[in-house]
Structure 1
Amino acid sequence: MNTTTEDSELAVLVSLLQESICESANLKQLSRVWTEIGMNEAQRHERRERIVLHVNDLLEEMSSEELNLKMKLEESFESNKAELQDLCKQLSLKEEDVPSGSEMPLYQRESFVRGRVDALNKMKFDRKKRLKRIMEMESSMCTSLGEVSQLKAVYKSETVPSEEDLKSFRTRVEDLEFTLNERRSIFQDLCNKVSNIWAELEEEPHGYFSTAHKDKSPPLVLSTAEMCNIEEAYKQIVTAAARLEGSALEIREKIQSLWTRLNVPEEEQMAFNQAHLGHKPRVIAMLKEELDRLTELKKANMKLLICNTRTELHKAWDKCHYGDSQRREFLPAFSDDYRDDVLGDLESELDRVNGFYRDNEELFQKVEKRETMWTQYQELVAKSSDPKRLFSARGGQLLKDQQLQKQIKKDLGKLEKGLTAELKQWEEDCERYFIVQDSRYLDTIQSQWEQTGKQKQMEKEKRQIVKEEQTMMEMTYGSKPITPLKKIMKRPAASPLTMPAKMRKVGQSPCVSATSNSVRSLNRPPRSTSRVTRTAKTPLYTPQKRSAMLKARRVLKDKNSQLPPPDPTSESFISQISHINASLASAGTYTDFQKGASSQPRSSVVPRTSSRTDFT
């Protein structure tokens, strides 16, 4: 504080003292008492000096107290300031700025620093409290999980964690809680499964899960090693149950095989199976008794058993697609001996084939599926090359067949791709070929596609040859337009006079028929002279006659189609052609015909001349 401030403060105090003394009743009373007592001036002066001394002592005492207060405030400020800096370091906070004396008086500075220290101490206490709770939770969970507490090893009771540390500790506690709950859930699930297995086997709980089964609660420690022991114990129980189930299944298969061979009635089989369900030890004992009984019957019915075993063996061979050579390799299947060793060989072979089918059942199913799809594909290909389908297909059947063929070919390609990869892997693992019907199935697939390609090529070449022969015939003898059947049906019924000559003379050859038609057309009288008059109401031909005529035409067409094509180099063909040329020459030229037509009178009916030669 500067001098001016001190002087003004002193003036204020003096002024206050003067006013207080002047207005003080005590001083007046002292002066009155002194007067009444009769004190002289010296005594009065002495007492005035004493009053001044008392006032100075009081001022000195007050000054000392105020100095002490200032020192305490300064000490408190410094200590709180140091504690504030230390708390900032402990709480991992940024060091705070403390106001200086020029910015704030000592009392306010001390009060500000003290308030900040109290706030940080509260934060410190809160963090340590949270840390303690987290450490207790982490310690409890580590004990349940059989692990060592990491927080106790890292942090001591005096350490104050940061907010990031508390967050990471909380995350660890959550992870431990999740792991603990997961292990408890796994343990409870395994306990339930084991309880079900014991219930199925009609056994009392024993071993590792017996205590948990009785208490209905997991053990206190679920460490990693303990969980491995629990899972191992569960696997042992499951393995034992599976062993019993496999033993029961094996005995049932043997019993079923003996039932089949001994021709045991199905009613008796069903009754026994219904009375002995499951794979409990009691059931397995009953199954063994039945197997022993059937074994004794087997010895008494050796011939019947051998015959039935051979039948089963052939069925097993059929499932595995064995060929004749593969079957002939096993001689006991075709011998006439009925000895015990033959039956043993048959049973061993049957077990081997059945085991081979079970091990490769998926492959055999895919092979059968592929064979079925291949048969469908071949049928559709053959159907698509049949020309008769064009007349019998209705309702878009051709399009449906074509789409089905494409789809089957696509699915067949996908199936063969996967099957080929599996067969190659199987052959690599087993170091032998996968045989189907005495041949390697991979080679069979390839050969079938090659054969299909060759067949298509042969059909294509055959059609090309037929087309070339037809073209050569048309170039040599000319082509004849074929009238569709619908137009033939629309024509009016023909009379015997208008009926074609080839329908009246069915047995003649094409060449003779053509010659006779040509000659007859030239010598035929006009139709008007030979037309029979009839009434308009009576039809010329009844439907029965018309049907007979159409049938005769079809018969003639079939016979002509069966005749071999004429050989241009044969003597009979040359003579027939010469006869036709001579007949045409006797008819005259077109100039003679034109002269005759111009010389004769015109008529409304002109005889029809046919210059067409028909070789059909």
Structure 2
Amino acid sequence: LRRVLAAECVACLNKALCHLKDIWEEIGIPEDQRLQRTHVVKNHIKGLLEMMITEEENLKKRLKSSIETCHKELNAVCKELQIPPFEVSCKQQDISLLVEYAMIKQKSQRMQDLKALTLQDQDLCDVLCTDPYSIAPDVVPSLDQLDNFRHRIASLTAEKERRRAEFVSLKKHIILCMEDLDQLPETSFERDVVLKDGKAFCLSHENITSLKLLLRQLEDQKAENEVQCTAYRKEVQKLWERLQVSQEQRDAFSDHMVMSKKRNLEAVRRHLL
């Protein structure tokens, strides 16, 4: 077959040269210029062949490099499977077998990565109360899909840490407000806030919003108590002046005159009565 193809190439070249010769004769190209043009044709064909040879040599190098890589992958698989290493040659069937083993190894690795990422995603979704990543668990993912999955995990992890920090800050202020108001958690949500930490509490957008709303309500109630306490203190001061209460008696009640907790508010109100 190679001889036939070589003969056909030579025939095509001779035919093309004869055609060129006829053209040159018809248009009156002198003999010396015909020789020059023939040399140009020869150099052009030579350059084309050399370029093709270079490309094929590069392909050969890339192929050898791929074989070496596949061979390493295959040896690793053989070692894991505790079987003798595979003897490599440059035959096409051996290359195909190497590639097949490498693809099996890559498939296994991708499925392991997918399983690990899916477990991480599920944990994050449980904490953040969000939907899991949409990807088929029994289909080999592409490299782009795995990269996208990793970016999602990184994004969710950062969001979890941000919300957890926000939860800790809000919880701290809520507890302080409840202490100032002498108020115990009443609803199940309030008990979850006070008793649970950032790992057990669902850090959904809705819960964070509810936390902010609860804190705002407590702060409003605390501010309202402060206003009432201030008003009552003024009335007490006026009453003391009218009744000429001694400084000793005033000092005994001084703690209630400077704090705005709920019990102090009640104490000041009772004192007025």
Unaligned runs of 5+ in 2: 3-88
SS of the equivalent of 2:253 reads: helix
**2: CA distance, partners of 1:248 / 1:281:** 9
Residues 225 and 212 of structure 1: is their aligned pair in 2 closer, same or farther, counting only changes over 3 Å?
closer
Q: Return the offset for 1:130.
A: 0.9
TM-score by length of 1: 0.27
**2: CA distance, partners of 1:226 / 1:216:** 13
Alignment of 1:355-394 (within 5 A): none
Aligned to 1:177: 157
Q: State whether residues 195 and 205 of structure 1, in contact with CA within 8 Å, keep that contact through their aligned partners in structure 2.
A: no
Aligned to 1:127: 110
Which of 201, 204, 217 lines up with 2:184 in the alignment? 204
Alignment of 1:526-537 (within 5 A): none
Aligned to 1:160: 141
SS of the equivalent of 1:150 reads: coil
Aligned to 2:172: 192
Aligned to 1:54: none
**2: CA distance, partners of 1:204 / 1:235:** 16
TM-score by length of 2: 0.57
**2: CA distance, partners of 1:275 / 1:283:** 5
**1: CA distance, partners of 2:173 / 2:99:** 62
Aligned to 2:237: 256
Q: State whether residues 233 and 268 of structure 2, in contact with CA within 8 Å, keep that contact through their aligned partners in structure 1.
A: yes
Aligned partner of 2:153: which letter?
A: V
**2: CA distance, partners of 1:233 / 1:275:** 27
Say how many residue pairs are matched: 187
Q: State whether residues 252 and 287 of structure 1, in contact with CA within 8 Å, keep that contact through their aligned partners in structure 2.
A: yes
Residues 218 and 263 of structure 1: is their aligned pair in 2 closer, same or farther, counting only changes over 3 Å?
farther
Query: Does residue 148 of structure 1 match 2:131?
Result: yes
Unaligned runs of 5+ in 1: 3-105, 293-616
**2: CA distance, partners of 1:214 / 1:220:** 9
Query: Does residue 247 of structure 1 match 2:228?
Result: yes
SS of the equivalent of 1:213 reads: helix
Q: State whether residues 212 and 219 of structure 1, in contact with CA within 8 Å, keep that contact through their aligned partners in structure 2.
A: no
The C-alpha deviation readout for 1:223-257, integer Å capped at 9, x for no partner, is 21222122212222222222222211221133334
Which of 248, 261, 266 lines up with 1:285 in the alignment? 266
Q: State whether residues 145 and 180 of structure 1, in contact with CA within 8 Å, keep that contact through their aligned partners in structure 2.
A: yes
Aligned partner of 1:192: which letter?
A: K
Residues 219 and 244 of structure 1: is their aligned pair in 2 closer, same or farther, counting only changes over 3 Å?
farther
Aligned partner of 1:198: which letter?
A: M
**1: CA distance, partners of 2:222 / 2:200:** 25
Q: State whether residues 180 and 262 of structure 2, in contact with CA within 8 Å, keep that contact through their aligned partners in structure 1.
A: no
Aligned partner of 1:291: which letter?
A: L
Aligned partner of 1:165: which letter?
A: Q
Q: Return the offset for 1:173.
A: 0.7
**1: CA distance, partners of 2:185 / 2:198:** 15
User: CA RMSD, aligned part only?
Assistant: 3.2
Which of 76, 81, 91 lines up with 1:108 in the alignment? 91
Q: State whether residues 192 and 201 of structure 2, in contact with CA within 8 Å, keep that contact through their aligned partners in structure 1.
A: no
Alignment of 1:211-610 (within 5 A): 211-216=192-197, 219-259=200-240, 266=247, 268-274=249-255, 276-292=257-273
Aligned partner of 1:199: which letter?
A: E
Q: State whether residues 117 and 150 of structure 2, in contact with CA within 8 Å, keep that contact through their aligned partners in structure 1.
A: yes
Q: State whether residues 131 and 161 of structure 1, in contact with CA within 8 Å, keep that contact through their aligned partners in structure 2.
A: no
Residues 268 and 235 of structure 1: is their aligned pair in 2 closer, same or farther, counting only changes over 3 Å?
same
SS of the equivalent of 1:151 reads: coil
**2: CA distance, partners of 1:258 / 1:220:** 50
**1: CA distance, partners of 2:90 / 2:246:** 113
Query: Does residue 138 of structure 1 match 2:118?
Result: no
Aligned partner of 2:161: which letter?
A: N
The C-alpha deviation readout for 1:561-609, integer Å capped at 9, x for no partner, is xxxxxxxxxxxxxxxxxxxxxxxxxxxxxxxxxxxxxxxxxxxxxxxxx
